[in-house]
């Protein structure tokens, strides 16, 4: 029996307009009646997710910043803070490679450039944004560095970041233009493990949905794992099942069919 459902947000749960399924409130009520926890699993910050899911508040679990910040029943249960020397090292390599970093921290999301394409992308996923003259002087607790590249990062930027940091940090592609960097061992799969421990359940009682490479570890933690129609090829190979498009709200349809019996 499924007791935990975790879903990525962008490209998965919401459509391309960032809209939730029209029957999402009904689905959450049905899950609550059955004692099933729904977890939002995203590279976005907790501040941004609270806005997107304001109607549901503490009724949901939140795996934020790709597992670096985890909230369950309104309580912070885990966070992973990057060492400031590590943050500076990542920022320096970004400068060398012509990549634009975004610092995701406790009290805000910090950037230093006025690059229009970058800011346009940032505002799709983050709020509470603060422009700083020099990111190296950020004194906030940093959970994640999101690295932006205007070109295809999988082949231009990601290899350099992996070569330098892959052996000691979590370096994951979260989209065509984004690479997320966290402490080693931090990913959405870690978030699932934290919630499974809190609920006293295992992989066989977990359902998960994803579309891009930062969802890999999460899908591996769920026996009932789904890859979206428009997903990265490696996600398609990893998930046990395939489903439809986020624009058709395929996640909601699968939950209703397989869990709620509708």
HEC secondary structure over 132-178: CCCHHHCCCCEEEEEEECCCCCCCCCHHHHHHHHCCCEEEEEEECCE
Q: What is the pLDDT of residue 176?
A: 86
**CB 4, CB 199: distance < 8 Å:** yes
Sequence-distant contacts of 136-139: CB under 8 A, at least 24 apart? 136/87, 136/88, 136/91, 138/87, 138/103, 138/105, 138/110
Q: Which of 137, 143, 208, 213 is nearest to 178 (CA)?
A: 213
HSE, side-chain direction, 13 A CA sphere, residue 9: 26
Helix (H, G, I), strand (E, B) or coil at 223: coil
Residues of the chain with CATH 3.30.1240.10: 84-183
Q: Which of 193, 196, 226 is nearest to 211 (CA)?
A: 226
Q: Backbone dihedral region of 252: left (phi > 0), alpha (psi from -120 to 50 degrees) or beta?
A: alpha
* Alpha helices (H) in the chain, listed in sequence order: 24-33, 46-52, 84-97, 116-125, 158-165, 188-199, 216-220, 233-238, 250-258
167, exposed or middle or buried, with CB in 10 Å at 0-12, 13-18, 19+?
Answer: exposed
Helix (H, G, I), strand (E, B) or coil at 131: strand
Q: What is the pLDDT of residue 156?
A: 87
User: Residues 3-41: pLDDT tens digits?
Assistant: 999 999 999 999 999 999 999 999 999 999 999 999 999
User: Residues 187-203: pLDDT tens digits?
Assistant: 999 999 999 999 999 99
Q: What is the pLDDT of residue 9?
A: 97
Neighbours of 58 (CB within 10 A): 12
Q: How far apart are CA 24 and CA 236, in angstroms?
A: 25
- Whole-model pTM: value is 0.94
Residues of the chain with CATH 3.40.50.1000: 4-79+186-258
**Arithmetic mean of pLDDT, 70-84:** 96
Q: How far apart are CA 236 and CA 158, in angstroms?
A: 21
Spelled out in words, what is the top-level CATH class assigned to the domain 4-79+186-258? alpha beta
**CB 45, CB 78: distance < 8 Å:** no
Which band of pLDDT confidence, cut at 50, 70 and 90, is reported for residue 179?
very high
Question: Looking at domain 84-183, does it have CATH number 3.30.1240.10?
Answer: yes
Which band of pLDDT confidence, cut at 50, 70 and 90, is reported for residue 247?
very high
Neighbours of 1 (CB within 10 A): 9
Q: What is the pLDDT of residue 171?
A: 96
Q: What is the pLDDT of residue 121?
A: 86
User: Residues 94-140: pLDDT tens digits?
Assistant: 999 999 999 999 999 999 988 888 888 888 888 889 999 899 999 99
Q: And the tokens for 244? A: 């439809």
């Amino acid at each position: 029996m499924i007791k935990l459902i975790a879903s990525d947000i962008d490209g998965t749960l919401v459509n391309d307009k960032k809209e939730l399924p029209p029957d999402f409130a009904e689905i959450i009520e049905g899950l609550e009646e059955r004692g099933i926890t729904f977890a939002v699993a995203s590279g976005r910050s907790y501040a941004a997710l609270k806005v997107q899911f304001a109607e549901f508040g503490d009724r949901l679990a939140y795996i934020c910043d790709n597992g670096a910040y985890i909230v369950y029943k309104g309580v912070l249960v885990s966070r992973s803070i990057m060492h400031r020397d590590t943050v500076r090292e990542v920022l320096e390599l970004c400068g060398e490679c012509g990549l634009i970093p975004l610092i995701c921290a406790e009290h805000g999301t910090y950037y230093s450039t006025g690059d229009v394409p970058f800011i346009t992308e940032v505002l799709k996923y983050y709020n509470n944004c603060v422009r700083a003259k020099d990111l190296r002087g950020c004194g906030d607790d940093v959970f994640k560095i999101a690295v932006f590249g205007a070109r295809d990062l999988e082949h231009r930027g990601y290899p350099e970041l992996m070569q330098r940091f892959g052996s000691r940090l979590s370096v994951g592609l979260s989209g065509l233009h984004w690479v997320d960097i966290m402490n080693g061992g931090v990913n959405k799969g870690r978030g699932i493990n934290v919630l499974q421990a809190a609920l006293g359940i295992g992989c066989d009682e977990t359902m998960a949905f994803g579309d891009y490479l930062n969802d890999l570890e999460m899908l591996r933690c769920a026996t009932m794992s789904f890859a979206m129609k428009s997903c990265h090829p490696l996600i398609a190979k990893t998930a046990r099942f395939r489903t439809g498009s986020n624009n058709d709200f395929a996640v909601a349809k699968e939950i209703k069919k397989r869990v709620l019996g509708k």
